[in-house]
Amino acid sequence: MNSFNKLHTIGKKAAHLKGVIHLLDWDQETYLPPEGAEPRSEQVALVSSIRHDLITSETYRQTLESFEPDTDDEKACHREWMRDFKHAIALPSSFVEEFAKTTSEAVEVWKEARQKSDFSLFAPALKKVMNLSRQKAEYLGYKETPYDALLDDYEPDTTTSQIEVLFNDLKKEIIPLLKSIKNKTDKKLTGTFGQEEQLSFSRKIAEKMGFSFKSGRLDLTTHPFCTSLHPLDNRITTRVYTEEPISCLMGVIHETGHALYDAGLPIKWFGTPLGEYISMGMQESQSRFWETRIGQSRPFWSGFYKELQTYFPTQLKTISEEEFYNILNRVEPTFVRVESDEVTYPLHVILRFEIEKALINDQLPVEEIPALWNQKMKDYLGITPPNDKLGCLQDVHWSCGHVGYFPTYTLGNMYAAILFNAFKKDHADWESRVSNGELSFINDWQKQAVHQHGRRYRSLPLLEKISNAPFSAKPYTDYLKEKYQNHPRS
């Protein structure tokens, strides 16, 4: 067996073990009986440590170091395997254990603090997590600032200073845009929208998009998510609010976007970096492309509103297609990120990025978070949270130690804007095709543009290759302005 095959064999095992961990996590969110949570955390920790041992073993190191890649494919694999290996050995197991223990306790404290809407209860635990995250950054290494190391974990080779430039560009455009927007309707959806009907319509749309229920599932959870055990086993979840059918459907469209990326990764490269997605940002670009550029578009509802009405004939009788479209695209500053619209969403993210960056770079004491949060909400969105629950205690990320993750939500939207422009160039007739109920050609395009490459390219070089232009925030702000300000919405 040559070195590549040896590495691929170990890589396949590591990939299957990741699939097993994803099943353990999926089961925990969907079907695990409550008392099974304790053994479950031990199972996850065990399989994770077996996986870690496998990809940091002496055999693996030697094979990797002596590997002389031949083809372009092998060179790409080698580069990414080296990156993963350096990352895996950077953190001592004692640190990984302490990190896991501290964050798992912090999540419990956060839950209580959030419930009581009292940040002071959470502050000591958060301080510990931030200290460990800073330590993590030191272990991982960075060029300019500790936050770089954490960001790199979610979006490889992207730096804090890059994000700062991009996010400042966004603020300059979006804050005034938000002030200028006037909603076209005040109509609201009323009535009860049955769970079965919502799920049935959502499943239909997911299938139209290219999701196969032969190699995937849809289940219900508190928060929608997507996980993949293998390109042939992709599982999405959603939630249903019977007072409106949008959350469920948009959850499904978003998660299907993720799932189609996972399902579109080349199976022959399973167990190598060429069979893996590029980054969290690129993942988010796929889900947001589908959710906002397609699911929230006029052509989509020209194609599907009549069908949605057949599911809810009485509830949607008095709502025209145009009114429905306007309800769906209503812009309004609100306190909670996950419920926010396309225009305010990036401001929520920028606020979090600025705060967590300051925390990691030791420029902000934890105690001052609530005041700074509320100040930024006022500055960016013009509203002030009435309490910490609706303010700085709303997200689970920090308690989990997911520092550096937030920016990828907005990067994803920026990527989606660039991809959408390229897609429109290749498919000038996309509006009429979508209006006719065609969707899977969009997945075909994304497969060819993004999915097929695995981790061969980083996000930015790939996007520059696709768009033939340097990367910037402009396509994204242009899109938002075009849709929400200049474009007649009727």
The residues carrying an active-site annotation are 255
| Radius of gyration in angstroms for the set of CA atoms belonging to the chain, rounded to a whole number | 23
The residues, any chain, with a CB within 8 Å of residue 70's CB and separated by 6 or more, are 4
Question: How far is 99 from 111, CA to CA, in rounded Å?
Answer: 18
Question: How far is 101 from 108, CA to CA, in rounded Å?
Answer: 11
Provide the edge-to-edge strand list for the sheet that holds 216-220.
Answer: 216-220, 233-238, 226-230
> Which positions lie near its own copies, rule CB under 8 A?
12-13, 16-17, 19-20, 23-24, 27, 31-36, 38-40, 42-43, 46-47, 50, 212-217, 219, 229-230, 232-233
Query: How far from 374 is each of 253, 352, 363, 381, 387, CA to CA, in Å?
Result: 32, 11, 18, 10, 9
Question: How far is 377 from 371, CA to CA, in rounded Å?
Answer: 10
- Report in angstroms how near the CB of residue 380 gets to its own copies at its nearest: 43
- Report in angstroms how near the CB of residue 200 gets to its own copies at its nearest: 18
282-284-289 Cα angle (round to 5): 100
State which residue, 45 or 88, has the beta carbon closest to its own copies: 45
State which residue, 116 or 204, has the beta carbon closest to its own copies: 204
> Do 422 and 365 touch, CB atoms closer than 8 A?
no
The residues, any chain, with a CB within 8 Å of residue 100's CB and separated by 6 or more, are 45
> Do 419 and 377 touch, CB atoms closer than 8 A?
no
State which residue, 164 or 233, has the beta carbon closest to its own copies: 233
- Report in angstroms how near the CB of residue 104 gets to its own copies at its nearest: 17
Tokens coding 446? 């994304």
- Report in angstroms how near the CB of residue 400 gets to its own copies at its nearest: 23
303-308: long-range contacts (C-beta < 8 A, 24 or more apart)? 303/434, 303/435, 303/436, 303/437, 303/438, 304/205, 304/437, 307/201, 307/204, 308/201, 308/245
Choose among 87, 135, 442, 107: nearest CA to 286: 442
The residues, any chain, with a CB within 8 Å of residue 475's CB and separated by 6 or more, are 414, 417, 418, 420, 421, 467
Question: How far is 204 from 22, CA to CA, in rounded Å?
Answer: 25
State which residue, 37 or 165, has the beta carbon closest to its own copies: 37
- Report in angstroms how near the CB of residue 35 gets to its own copies at its nearest: 4
Q: Is 222 exposed, middle or buried (0-12, 13-18, 19+ CB in 10 A)?
A: exposed
Going by DSSP bridges, is the β-strand pair 216-220/233-238 parallel, antiparallel, or unpaired? Answer: parallel
State which residue, 219 or 323, has the beta carbon closest to its own copies: 219
State which residue, 263 or 319, has the beta carbon closest to its own copies: 263
- Report in angstroms how near the CB of residue 221 gets to its own copies at its nearest: 13
State which residue, 110 or 225, has the beta carbon closest to its own copies: 225
> Do 471 and 418 touch, CB atoms closer than 8 A?
yes
State which residue, 11 or 245, has the beta carbon closest to its own copies: 11
- Report in angstroms how near the CB of residue 53 gets to its own copies at its nearest: 10
- Report in angstroms how near the CB of residue 17 gets to its own copies at its nearest: 7
Choose among 407, 130, 417: nearest CA to 279: 407
- Report in angstroms how near the CB of residue 195 gets to its own copies at its nearest: 15
> Do 345 and 292 touch, CB atoms closer than 8 A?
no
244 secondary structure, DSSP code: B
State which residue, 228 or 247, has the beta carbon closest to its own copies: 228
